[in-house]
Chains A and B, each alone.
Chain A
Amino acid sequence: MQPLLLTFAAFCFFGAFNRWLLALGLAAGISYLGLRGWSLGRLPLVGPHDTIAFFAVSLAAMGLATRLSRPLRSAAWFNAAVGIMAGIFGGLALIFPVRSMPMPAILDTLWFELHVVLAFFAYALFGIGAIVSAGWLAVRDRSLMDIQFKTALAGWSFFSASMVAGGIWGYYAWGTYWLWTPKELWTSILWLFYALVLHLRLKGAKWDVLSAWLGVLGFVVTLFTYLGVSLLMKSSHSF
């Protein structure tokens, strides 16, 4: 199965200039996740290898979906940036060992799967939003800020739904819908951060520069919430 993930990463990274190669890469990535899920008998959402692979494929999928918007249809730079980003994370997943352990009973619930899947869709959209923000900072095309807002809103919506699913899971699994762990604090920080980004739009076009920089910074906060907390801080709520 690993060659499929390698194909995904290679097609995304080296074929980033071409949307059809990116789409082929995405097909390889989805096939990898499907086969891995088939072999495990569940969604592959536990451990760094599976979650980073899922994140990389989500990035490619959300990038291709966002590319359908009119201002990005002919933007080769956007295609390239999405492909490179998805390729890097696909390659990163390959570094981590593939572990095929049975699902611990505490994670064996639909609420956990919903929580994680929705969170990764949100992370991917925040990544796409960062690319669009960086693009706006380079070319200053106002239509890009509209797309940045929509990716932030869609990502924030997925993230909110993920937090609701996580709260329900936590209530049945641990007896509380909220635990004071670094992971949950950073999850809240990320949610509040994007609430700030969305509200900033109400200030109008004069604040676009700050909005765009926050769009880029948002992905740094996203990566810290996802990877930084798990790797650098002691948290019972981790991969």
Chain B
Amino acid sequence: MKRLWNLLISLEVGLVLLALVCIVMGAGSFGLSGDVATALNSMPLFVWLREFSLATTWWLWLTIVLLALLALNTLCCSADTVFQRFSSNAILAWLPPQLIHAGFLLIVLAHLQSALWGFKGAIEIPEGAGFQLPDGAAVQVARVGAIFSPMGGDRPLGYKALLVTQETAGQGGVTISPNHPWFSNGYGVYIKHAEPGQPPVALLEVHREPGAAMAMAGAVLFTIGNLLLLHTRSRSREFMLESDEA
């Protein structure tokens, strides 16, 4: 049992896992193009992994296994540090890396949550028509338009659409544009493109990222830990003192 624990908290194991994840992801990146890449970004990860053959997905399966082991190693290392040093007064010496570890673990969990229970869908819809979100909420696309630069030019910088739903009808609807989606019950509606015509047609995407809140929490924890670590390490003069003594 002691040997297993020592293996789980081993720094060497962590280093090897980090190196292996880099190598496997690097190898996989060279095959990520064309229809395979398009499909991967149009559905949750685990749906894609089920739909494509192992010859295509092997590197992502391997990455997931290695990341799971790395997460376990991170969790055990942090638990070991906290148990051993919890009562010590030098909290700023050991807490920042553990906050970073906690942030990393939350972000990994958030990815897992979105990969398992996320939703991605796309719809081409003409102005005046309606569609339903997966939870049944009805959305009408009242208007579709383009955004042009105030300095002129005939190429649009982006597109916009006026959405009218039961929720937004009182305010006359809500306009979505790039970086300004509309959210309802965890679903986000995004405008990707529009084609002029009679009537104009909008390409909308509907996404659900259940891991988003956890990823944000992880990012906040990570950033706090990172800032504390920078603060403590910037004051460390261990090697300068050593070199002075030498």
The answer to whether the Cβ of A47 comes within 8 Å of any Cβ in the partner chain is no
The answer to whether the Cβ of B21 comes within 8 Å of any Cβ in the partner chain is yes
Whether the Cβ atoms of B40 and A195 lie closer than 8 Å is: no
Whether the Cβ atoms of A200 and B158 lie closer than 8 Å is: no
Whether the Cβ atoms of B33 and A233 lie closer than 8 Å is: yes
Given that A186-B29, A199-B14, A199-B18 are contacting pairs, would A142 and B242 also be in contact in the complex, using a CB cutoff of 8 Å? yes
**Given the complex, which residues of A lie within 8 Å of B158, measured CB to CB?**
104-106
Q: How distant is B156 from chain A, measured CB to nearest CB, in Å?
A: 8
Whether the Cβ atoms of A102 and B11 lie closer than 8 Å is: no
Whether the Cβ atoms of B149 and A102 lie closer than 8 Å is: yes
Q: How distant is B10 from chain A, measured CB to nearest CB, in Å?
A: 11
Q: How far is it, in angstroms, between the C-alpha of A160 and the C-alpha of B173 when the chains are bound?
A: 37
Q: How distant is A34 from chain B, measured CB to nearest CB, in Å?
A: 20
Which residues of chain B from 189 to 235 have any CB-CB distance to chain A below 8 Å in the complex? 190, 205-207, 209, 212, 215-216, 219, 222-223, 226-227, 229-230, 233-234
The answer to whether the Cβ of B143 comes within 8 Å of any Cβ in the partner chain is no
The answer to whether the Cβ of B56 comes within 8 Å of any Cβ in the partner chain is no
Tell me the interface secondary structure of chain A in the complex. helix
- Of B26, B205, B206, B223, chain A has the most CB atoms within 10 Å of the CB of B26
Q: How distant is A197 from chain B, measured CB to nearest CB, in Å?
A: 9
The answer to whether the Cβ of A38 comes within 8 Å of any Cβ in the partner chain is no
Whether the Cβ atoms of B15 and A180 lie closer than 8 Å is: no
Q: How distant is A224 from chain B, measured CB to nearest CB, in Å?
A: 9
Whether the Cβ atoms of B209 and A177 lie closer than 8 Å is: yes
The answer to whether the Cβ of A234 comes within 8 Å of any Cβ in the partner chain is yes
In the complex, per-residue mask of B48-87: 1 if CB is within 8 Å of any chain A CB, else 0: 0000000000000000000000000000000000000000
Whether the Cβ atoms of B178 and A105 lie closer than 8 Å is: yes
Given that A182-B32, A185-B32, A233-B29 are contacting pairs, would A143 and B233 also be in contact in the complex, using a CB cutoff of 8 Å? no
Whether the Cβ atoms of B18 and A196 lie closer than 8 Å is: yes
Q: How far is it, in angstroms, between the C-alpha of A141 and the C-alpha of B242 when the chains are bound?
A: 11
- Tell which of A108, A154, A180 touches B40, judged by Cβ atoms closer than 8 Å: A180
Whether the Cβ atoms of A181 and B37 lie closer than 8 Å is: yes
Q: How distant is A32 from chain B, measured CB to nearest CB, in Å?
A: 22
**Given the complex, which residues of A lie within 8 Å of B37, measured CB to CB?**
180-181, 234
Given that A105-B158, A182-B29 are contacting pairs, would A195 and B18 also be in contact in the complex, using a CB cutoff of 8 Å? yes
- Tell which of A108, A167, A172, A196 touches B22, judged by Cβ atoms closer than 8 Å: A196
**Given the complex, which residues of B lie within 8 Å of A167, measured CB to CB?**
215, 219
**Given the complex, which residues of B lie within 8 Å of A178, measured CB to CB?**
111, 114
Q: How distant is B229 from chain A, measured CB to nearest CB, in Å?
A: 7
Q: How far is it, in angstroms, between the C-alpha of A182 and the C-alpha of B27 when the chains are bound?
A: 10
The answer to whether the Cβ of B153 comes within 8 Å of any Cβ in the partner chain is yes
Whether the Cβ atoms of B25 and A185 lie closer than 8 Å is: yes
Given that A175-B188, A202-B11 are contacting pairs, would A161 and B29 also be in contact in the complex, using a CB cutoff of 8 Å? no
**Given the complex, which residues of B lie within 8 Å of A181, measured CB to CB?**
32, 37, 41
Whether the Cβ atoms of A174 and B239 lie closer than 8 Å is: no
The answer to whether the Cβ of B151 comes within 8 Å of any Cβ in the partner chain is yes
Instruction: Identify the stretch in A50-58, A81-89, A145-153 within 8 Å (CB) of chain B at 4 or more residues.
Output: A145-153
Q: How far is it, in angstroms, between the C-alpha of A108 and the C-alpha of B45 when the chains are bound?
A: 29
Q: How far is it, in angstroms, between the C-alpha of A179 and the C-alpha of B212 when the chains are bound?
A: 13
**Given the complex, which residues of B lie within 8 Å of A196, measured CB to CB?**
15, 18-19, 22
Which residues of A come within 8 Å of B, CB atoms?
Answer: 70-71, 102-106, 108-109, 141-143, 145-146, 149-150, 153-154, 157, 160-161, 164, 167-169, 171-182, 185-186, 188-189, 192-193, 195-196, 199-200, 202-203, 229, 233-234
- CB pairs A–B below 8 angstroms (29 shown): A71-B243, A103-B157, A105-B178, A106-B179, A108-B178, A142-B243, A143-B240, A145-B239, A157-B229, A160-B226, A167-B219, A171-B212, A174-B190, A175-B188, A175-B205, A176-B118, A176-B209, A180-B32, A180-B37, A182-B33, A185-B25, A185-B29, A185-B32, A186-B26, A189-B21, A189-B26, A192-B25, A193-B22, A199-B18
Which residues of B come within 8 Å of A, CB atoms?
Answer: 11, 14-15, 18-19, 21-22, 25-26, 28-30, 32-34, 37, 40-41, 45, 111, 114, 118, 120, 147, 149, 151, 153, 157-158, 177-181, 188, 190, 205-207, 209, 212, 215-216, 219, 222-223, 226-227, 229-230, 233-234, 238-240, 242-243, 246
- Identify 11 new A-B residue pairs, CB closer than 8 A, beyond the known A142-B246, A234-B34: A105-B158, A105-B177, A108-B157, A143-B242, A150-B233, A160-B226, A180-B45, A181-B32, A182-B33, A185-B29, A192-B22
